């Protein structure tokens, strides 16, 4: 097993442990974060019905016009504001934050702070 594979498996263990405690309900859905080497993605998910209420990523056309690089903290902040905006349109103001097994640091923290500034409460 190479280092990359070991790191991914370790993150998956943490992700499963976090998901045991974090559940999204209709009144308080889950804001899930996924990051790849190049981009960052965020979804607001109602686990009760299994539906995605809002989503945003650094691949969105709105963000690509502004030339924010996909793997930067600036791009993560813009994704956080965009997902908060879309969640508010869907009627969601309170969420539970699911960091997806990543450390609350760097891009994940930038996305969370921007979502808070965008109006989401968690």
**Model's pTM, two decimal places?**
0.85
Give the model's pLDDT for residue 70.
65
Per-residue pLDDT for the chain (122 aa), expressed as one digit of tens each? 789 899 889 888 888 888 777 777 777 899 999 999 899 999 999 988 999 999 999 999 878 877 666 678 999 999 999 999 999 999 999 999 999 889 999 999 999 999 999 999 98
pLDDT at 95: 95
Look at residue 67 in the predicted model and tell me its pLDDT: 60
Query: Closest Cα to residue 40, out of 69, 17, 61?
Result: 69
Burial 95-119, CB ≥16 within 10 A → b, else e:
bbbbbbbbeeeebbbbbbebbeebe
Q: How far apart are CA 115 and CA 31, in angstroms?
A: 10
First to last CA, the chain: 37
Among 70, 51, 52, which residue's Cα sits nearest to residue 60?
70
Task: Look at domain 3-117 and name its CATH class.
Answer: alpha beta
| CA distances in angstroms from 23 to 49, 59, 71, 109, listed in the order given | 12, 27, 27, 20
Pairing mode, if any, of strands 40-46 and 30-35? antiparallel
What's the pLDDT at 107? 95
């Amino acid at each position: 097993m190479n280092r990359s594979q070991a790191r991914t498996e370790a993150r998956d263990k943490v992700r499963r442990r976090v998901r045991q405690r974090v559940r999204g309900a209709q009144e308080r859905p889950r804001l899930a974060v996924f990051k790849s080497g190049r981009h960052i993605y965020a979804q607001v998910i109602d686990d009760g019905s299994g539906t995605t209420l809002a989503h945003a990523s650094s691949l969105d056309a709105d963000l690509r016009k502004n030339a924010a690089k996909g793997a930067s903290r600036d791009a993560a902040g813009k994704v956080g504001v965009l997902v908060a905006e879309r969640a508010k349109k869907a009627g969601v103001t309170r969420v539970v934050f699911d960091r997806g097994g990543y450390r609350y640091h760097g891009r994940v923290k930038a996305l969370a702070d921007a979502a808070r500034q965008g109006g989401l409460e968690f």
